[in-house]
Structure 1
Amino acid sequence: MKLARISLIFGLLLIFQSCGSGQVEENTKKRAEIIAVHDEVMPKMGQLKSLEKSALQKVEELSAMDSVDSVQIEALKNLALDLDKAYEGMFVWMRQYETEDGDQTPEEIKAYLDEQLILVMEVNKNMKTALSKADSLLKIQ
């Protein structure tokens, strides 16, 4: 992760020195904004998996009981699925995110970064929603 940041900073510095345009500065700020959105929820990845395991464990416990609450079991299964989707969503986004600009023009880079900001904000929202749902469903269990 640190290597990626160092590479990102180094690449951005090279671009900034070679072009020097206002668009390059804007793109640098946009990349920093994207990373900030990512960094906000990345530390919660372990929590997602832990809560997923807790939800699935609760499903097993409830299924073993004499009086089965199928609504509660279904809600916990859906929660586990949401937590897993949020977890995987972060990895899908990280794998496709390009830190290098290549031969793209500053305008092409801007369009790419605008799209990436939308995508990473969606990942951020999905993770927060899943964590909030887990907080409410697992607290009452």
Structure 2
Amino acid sequence: MKRITSLLILITLTFFVGCKPSLEETNAELREEVIAVHDEVMPLMGKLKSFEKQANDKINDLEQSESVDSVSVEELKALYYDLNQAYEGMFVWMRQYEIEDGEKSPEEIEAYLKEQMESVSKVNDDIKAALEKAEKHFSNQ
């Protein structure tokens, strides 16, 4: 009876160890997740730039009008800044993102990808927040 129990435990442990994904597989999945976060907002970059141009044009119009509303101008400048920073943030992230793993160990790759997930998630959040702010501003006009 002890042998059967020991054998069952050994088979069960072997099964679970054999089914556990390797660190390389985990890293591949993590890399896909990082790229998915990037891909979610990349198509919105044109919209971001369009709102940025709208804000800039509106700033110029207000500054040239005789009745300058300084509060509106400052709000638009803040919106323009947010849109620009969100746009630039994506390209800063893309320039520094390393596609190749090089000589890194699987553990180093995992740490790098987790760091990149945090960075690209912030870029994603910044873009969505800037777009939401712009949509609210320009839909009220």
Give the TM-score, by structure 1 length.
0.83
The count of corresponding residues between Structure 1 and Structure 2 is 121
Unaligned runs of 5+ in 1: 1-20
Counterpart Cα distance in 2 of 1:90 and 1:112 = 18
**1:51 lines up with 2:51 in the alignment:** yes
Counterpart Cα distance in 1 of 2:73 and 2:135 = 16
Q: Give the CA deviation at 1:65.
A: 2.3
Q: Give the CA deviation at 1:64.
A: 2.4
Q: What is the aligned partner in structure 2 of residue 127 from structure 1?
A: 127
SS in 1 for 2:122: helix
RMSD: 1.0
Counterpart Cα distance in 2 of 1:140 and 1:70 = 18
Counterpart Cα distance in 1 of 2:24 and 2:72 = 52
Report runs of 4+ in structure 1 exceeding 3 Å deviation.
none
Counterpart Cα distance in 1 of 2:106 and 2:26 = 9
Q: Give the CA deviation at 1:138.
A: 1.6
Unaligned runs of 5+ in 2: 1-20
**1:73 lines up with 2:69 in the alignment:** no
Give the TM-score, by structure 2 length.
0.83
Q: Give the CA deviation at 1:46.
A: 1.0
Counterpart Cα distance in 2 of 1:30 and 1:105 = 15
Q: Which one has a bigger Cα radius of gyration?
A: 2
Q: What is the aligned partner in structure 2 of residue 23 from structure 1?
A: 23
Counterpart Cα distance in 1 of 2:61 and 2:92 = 32
Q: Give the CA deviation at 1:126.
A: 0.4
Counterpart Cα distance in 2 of 1:70 and 1:138 = 18
